[in-house]
Structure 1
Amino acid sequence: MTTPVAAIVDAPAYAQAVEDAVKASAAYYTGGTSPMDDDTYDRLVRAITAWEDGHPDQVLPDSPTGKVAGGAVEGDVPHTVAMLSLDNVFSPDGFTAWTASLARRVGHEVERFSVEPKLDGLAVAARYTRGRLERLITRGDGTAGEDVSHAIGTVEGLPEVLTEPVTVEVRGEVLMTTAQFEHANEVRTAHGGQPFANPRGASAGTLRARERAYTVPMTFFGYGLLPLPDTDPELAGRLRELPHSASMVRTAELGVNTTAGTAVPGTTAGTAEQVLARVREIAALRAALPFGIDGIVVKADLAADQRAAGSGSRAPRWAVAYKLPAVEKITRLLEVEWNVGRTGVIAPRAVLEPVVIDGATITYATLHNPADITRRDLRLGDHVMVHRAGDVIPRVEAPVAHLRTGAERRIVFPEVCPRCGSAIDTGEQRWRCGNGRNCHLVASLSYAAGRDQLDVEGLGRTRVVQLVEAGLVTDLADLFTLTRDQLLSLDRMGGTSTDNLLAALGTAKGRPLSRVLCALGVRGTGRSMSRRIARHFATMDHVRAADSTAMQQVDGIGTEKAPSIVAELAELAPLIDRLVAAGVNMTEPGATPPDPAAADGPTGASEGSQDMQGAKGTQSAGSAEGQEPAGGPLAGMTVVVTGAMTGALERLGRNEMNELIERAGGRSSSSVSKKTALVVAGEGAGSKRARAESLGVRLATPDEFAALVADHLGQPVS
């Protein structure tokens, strides 16, 4: 679990390590459970390998190092071609050593590799006869697997009928996406079962289950296409000679799901350096993917190179898995803290036995809300699976229920607000203090005065505390009714400081509606969403008049979020009225209110209309021929900014760059895809620039972009 795997020092320790590894592998492949997380298992197998390298005459027959899938349970359906595992490398040096070994085996430097994500699921073989799916088989021990054909029809991306009546075998990975995993746990716990610890275990357990009272969806990604004994000889010959990359194109043509349609499609590379660059790109995208990956698979792409390299008893010599740092580990849940946020939301936080994930020591993790704790049946003292990817806040996935000892304790929920003692509103999944924002007024006001909101210079947290403790401010609107005499009454507040703060508050009154909305801190919105709402509705009156249906016309607001936003705006009505009375601006420059008739049309049409309307205000009506058309220079374009900005853009932060893009008619995004129209690549641009180059997306330097949007740079930054 969280205990580091020590080096094996003697034969008894080696024998125990082999036993532990075999039990862990068997537990995973039989029911999707294991007493170890993947990282602990990998380190244990590496320790076993190191011992065996030094003691080749003492290798035990049960050792997982010489077996496919670490000694997974045997099946009763023979594979026509061995279904092997992959050897692993963990660093650029390890990968370079592998490429050198591959070159020695094939007799020349390999000039083309295929590079694709290593999906974190369960390997299966799908056998099609004349285009119809007839059998689904697990990897098993590589020689034979278990028949799981009962799962046919429950796996998305694995069609029951191909687009052509061919007899072939498609090999691939069955997994659960993040959304499918959440759904599976909801269904499982509703039927009285323990939640799955992670998506990988969930897919393994679900695929093998035969007598459950419920079914949950899974997803298939193909990674291999090969002939069967009764495949047409001409087709079989063609398939055996196809490069791997071409076989994946053929797989997709047959209607089978592959990674081609994801943010991390399989690609080819000509050199080890290009492979490592692609490894870095995929690793950078990992946290945002809707499914789990634990590495990158690199293969010799050409069939001739694969034949020349050959295979061992456990793994092919022409392919390797470049493993990424683990994002999930098992640790112990020690306590639960209840914290009150600036909007009054009472959020539980897990206190964990420290565990290192991807180089960071994790002591705390989010628990979402009380309903989530109940649904996952979490208890103090539980071993829990903790997930952390990139800069994402660590989260507790689920308890590892089969490790319970009986000493675990129920988590006690608060009966009153842990901060102010007021009653708790439990009407929604996220509990909230009855005092709302006033429970944590200092945090709420400090947020509102921040740079990305109203940007009130001189109103830091210390000053906010003074104002609140002096009773001068009880909500956001009070800031704009402060008098000079009131401010002078505060400690360390002289005439100059007072005048400067009053001037800053006066400036803040004129901020655009998007900034005001952001300062209000409506749950479910942030800087970007506040801009979208403001540009869609143009005025606060239109925002407040919108019902859930109208709110859903805003890009990014769905059926779940819209009612919450509408309800909270209604709750904030008295505060908004006081802000209006204080002279705070409630309009968005350059935006046009939506056409009422458009609200009844399809969401997509309305969004497109809104995009054009939002840009019209930046253009003069009736532009003459040759002038910028209505919509702005970025109309209809999705723009990504990466790296450090220079020149005319140097003073702009990332939020201000996003605002500039939207004023010029475009839409800002944080990720590069085929839909991206332009990437602004500044100094230090890395994976996003590389991704744009691989997709053929247009690139611009900061200076080139500044020239493109020059007419909009002079406008005040909202």
Structure 2
Amino acid sequence: MRELVDPVDPVVDAAEAAPFPDVEEYRAAVERIRAAAEAYYSGPDLAMDDATYDGLMARVTATEAARPEWKAADSPTEAVGAGGGVVGDITHSEPMLSLDNVFGSDELHKWAARLERILGRPVAGYTVEPKIDGLAIAARYTDGILTLVATRGDGRAGEDVTAQARRAAGLPERLREPVTVEVRGEVFMTDDDFAAAQVMRTGAGEPAFAHPRSAAAGTLRAPKRVYECPLSFFAYSVHGVAEPMAQSAAMAWLAELGVATTAYKLCATVDEVAAAVEEVTATRGTLGYGVDGAVIKADQPADRERAGSSSRAPRWGVAYKFPADTRTTKLLRIEVQVGRTGVITPVAVLEPVQVGGVIVTSATLHNFDDLVRRNVRAGDTVFVRRAGDVIPEVTGAQLDLRPADSVAFEPPTHCPRCGGEIDRSQKRWRCTSGRACGAAESLSYYVARTSMDIEGLGDKILHAVVSAGLVTDPADLYDLDVPTLAALERLGEVSATKLVANIQGSKGQPLSRVLTALGVRMTGRSMSRRLARHFVTMDALLAASVDDLQRVDGVGPERAVTIAAELVELTPLIAKLVERGVNMAEPLETSVAALPLQRADGSPMTVVVTGAVPGLTRDEGNEAVERLGGKSSGSVSKKTDLVVVGDGAGSKATKAEQLGVRILSAERFAALLEAHDADDQDTVAEILGP
């Protein structure tokens, strides 16, 4: 088969997708779609991630619209499940159709407008429900007893999976009423059940599942396994009732019968639908199971009957697809990280890939036992997802693409950071030195001039107190007293007294300095100041959600996730610091005039400091910019408001002149800072001018 390059923008509407330039590429794409669909329905492995699949399907659809003479007789655009379903001999009572996809608010509104044109009037209400990332089935009940369960297959007939489906939670053996109906819905695995299934599968000597969806599909179609993986079921429709029912009424009735159903929201307008989709998007990471979109349906049976269906999809319903939460990329190498408490963790370093709207360059491999179960190696093409829609993780590898010269990863025999022994008694390996492993390094950062600025605590003294077992984390520093320090070699009572005073004096440092000292990953001094100014107190920062963090200037989705995870890990240490009286608040500027580098609307000016500023280090110069209400930047552009130029300034000063950006001498900037600190508003105004 001819090689085909994956689309650059995988999740696109067919109307915007580029057609293939020749018939051979079109046919190659059709073959890839069929193969991927076959692998998906057959489980347990994925042959292609969701976004690539959607992108190929969009381009095939666009090609068939542009060149109808190329269209294959059995095109996947006309088949349910792209023609990849395993077809059995169970004929469905009514065809099990797929749903067309939309990928944004504009496309959603276009779909609703088309539906209204078909109806010739407004839609009489919509339902919005999560789109479960599972396998569609039809379950038949006779007089309230479960008698048959079939997969969707090709939409007309499916495979008998009754025995395996009976153990799915949410699909009862007996209904609460003796009715004869067909219930349709999704079989899936929860996040917890997927983790349990991985242990069962790898414990039986089989390769790890690649993804919860393929795990559910493979489990449902594997009647002779020696282990039984847990499954769940949510219903989304009911058939065979005497009178057609509204979707909302049908879901309520199924719940009364004892069948698990997806939560739904009833909406009157498409704008309400869009808002409901946003709610599903916001909560998808908290559900405990995979959701890859939202399903929108016309609620009333009269609307559905009038709208009708195409050969593969109803016109009265649509799937709003979220950015894919599983992608494939190259695993470049496996590194080992040592946490603050001595926990040793393998981490996958990846070729950058967008997962669920976030660029991911590394992902957790959890622990070394899990690394063996997942069977991934450097050089593999791996599946990456965002667990709980937050933390990136590698779930498995495409073993058929594994390089011939690949070798299994060798776990460390000693702690990579301190060379000490490793405790392997639990799943999470740990350096036997615990928090003392690397303590000197983290303490050195904590006491630095740009952090808590504790003068006199050099590397030799830090090494001495750590070696003596007196200090394992920054909070222990505040328990040191004069007699204890004076007893150390080459540190007398006078020096010890001064050092204790300096340590105790650091308790008054502002929150921004504390955050810098804690070394929260992906922050640094500038970001620590922004976080401190935004949340003001540590309590508010610790209570902030990932969404709250993204409201801080410069904090994107990946950085917000990292900061949130870091703060959770640091919470015990922060509590110890609070107990010892360390300040956890940022002083507030009460006067608007006291912030000279703010614009009229209160937003910060973008300021670049280049060259030396009298009396300030480079870091202190950037800190001064933010103290004056501005935003420090390292590069000059048309969006820069001010460039501070001192001795040794280079190309940045030249570029500022070329772009016509305002320039302020370093001496004038130092005078501005002094006037601001003295609350001399006349001088501040004179320096900045109109």
Taking structure 1 as the reference length, the TM-score comes to 0.65
What is the aligned counterpart of 2:272 among 268, 274, 279? 274
* Correspondence list, 1:567-586, <5 A: none
Instruction: Tell me if the contact between 1:2 and 1:330 (Cα under 8 Å) persists in the aligned partners.
Output: no
In structure 2, how many angstroms separate the alpha carbons of the residues matched to 1:335 and 1:435? 27
Question: Would the alpha carbon gap of residues 135 and 495 (structure 1) be closer, same or farther in structure 2, given more than 3 Å must change?
Answer: same
Which residue number corresponds to residue 300 of structure 1?
Answer: 298
CA contact (8 A) 2:133 2:292 kept: yes
Alignment counterpart, residue 237 of structure 1, candidates 234, 237, 242: 242
Alpha-carbon distance, 1:367 to partner: 1.0
Give the C-alpha shift of residue 76 in structure 1. Answer: 1.3
Write the mapping of 1:217-366 to structure 2, written as runs, cut at 5 A.
217-227=230-240, 236-238=241-243, 240=244, 242-259=245-262, 265-366=263-364
Distance in 1 (alpha carbons) for counterparts of 2:420 and 2:552: 51
Distance 1:183 1:198 in 2: 13
Are the counterparts in 1 of residues 482 and 500 from structure 2 also a CA contact under 8 Å?
Answer: no
Which moved further from structure 2: 248-257 or 204-213? 204-213
Q: Identify the residue that residue 132 of structure 2 maps to in structure 1.
A: 119
Match of 2:59 among 41, 47, 55: 47
Tell me if structure 2 keeps the 8 A contact 1:446–1:459.
no
Summarize deviations over 1:100-124 as a string: whole Å, max 9, x none: 0000111111131000000000000
Question: What secondary structure, in the 3-state scheme, does the structure 1 residue paired with 2:479 have?
Answer: helix
Deviations 1:479-527 (A, max 9, x none): 432559989999xx9999985642345999xxxxxx9xxx9x9xxxxxx
Report the equivalent of 1:480.
479
Q: SS at 2:295's partner residue? A: strand
**Secondary structure of the equivalent of 2:136?**
strand
What is residue 174 of structure 2 aligned with on the other side? Answer: 161
Indicate the larger mover: 85-94 or 61-70.
Answer: 61-70
Any idea what the Cα deviations from partners look like across 1:67-124, whole Å, max 9, x if unmatched? 1111123221111111100000001110010000000111111131000000000000
Unaligned runs of 5+ in 2: 9-17, 521-530, 554-582, 586-690
| Other structure's SS at 2:219 match | helix
| 1:526-541 equivalent positions in 2, closer than 5 A | none
Q: Deviations over 1:312-334 (max 9, x none)?
A: 10000000000000111122222
Residue aligning to 2:504: 502
Stretch moving more, 478-487 or 28-37: 478-487
Offset at residue 212 of structure 1 (A): 1.3
CA contact (8 A) 2:446 2:452 kept: no
Deviations 1:512-557 (A, max 9, x none): xxx9xxx9x9xxxxxxxxxxxxxxxxxxxxxxxxxxxxxxxxxxxx
Deviation larger for 389-398 or 83-92: 389-398
CA distance in 2, matches of 1:366, 1:645: 29
Change (3 A) 1:467 1:258: farther
- Offset at residue 402 of structure 1 (A): 4.4
Instruction: Summarize the alignment of residues 473-622 of structure 1 with structure 2, pairs less than 5 Å apart.
Output: 474=467, 475=471, 476=473, 477-481=476-480, 483=482, 499=501, 501-505=503-507
CA drift at 1:184: 0.9
**Matched residue count:** 513
Preserved CA contact (<8 Å) 2:329 2:353? yes
Q: Secondary structure at the match of 1:62?
A: coil
Correspondence for 2:39: 27
**Preserved contact between residue 645 and residue 683 of structure 1 (Cα < 8 Å):** no
2:208 equivalent in structure 1: 195
Equivalent-residue separation in structure 2 for 1:341 and 1:2 (angstroms): 42
For 1:362, the aligned partner's letter is: V
1:471 maps to 2:484 = no
TM-score by length of 2: 0.68
Specify the SS of the correspondent of 2:304. Answer: helix
The verdict on how the C-alpha distance between 1:288 and 1:402 changes in structure 2, with shifts beyond 3 A counting, is farther
> Percent sequence identity over matched residues?
43
For the 8 Å contact 1:383–1:404, the answer to whether it is kept is yes
The CA deviation at 1:135 is: 0.3
Q: 1:393 to 1:657 in 2, by over 3 A?
A: closer
Shift of residue 10, structure 1, vs aligned partner: 0.8
Q: Which residue of 2 aligns with 1:697?
A: none
Secondary structure of the equivalent of 1:480? coil
What CA distance in whole angstroms lies between the structure 2 residues aligned with 1:447 and 1:158? Answer: 56
Match of 1:437 in 2: 435
- State whether structure 2 residue 456 is matched by structure 1 residue 459: no
Question: Which amino acid is 2:229 matched to?
Answer: V
Asked if the contact 1:343–1:444 (Cα under 8 Å) also holds between the matched residues in 2, the reply is no
Which is greater in Rg? Answer: 2
Letter in 1 for 2:250: S
Q: CA offset at residue 5 of structure 1?
A: 1.5
- Contact 2:150/2:160 (8 A) holds in 1: yes
Q: Which amino acid aligns with 2:278?
A: R
1:388 match: secondary structure? strand
Q: Find the aligned partners of 1:657 and 1:361 in 2 and give their Cα distance.
A: 25
| Letter in structure 1 aligned against 2:75 | S
Tell me the amino acid that sits aligned with residue 16 of structure 1.
Answer: A
* Alpha-carbon separation, structure 2, partners of 1:344 and 1:387: 26
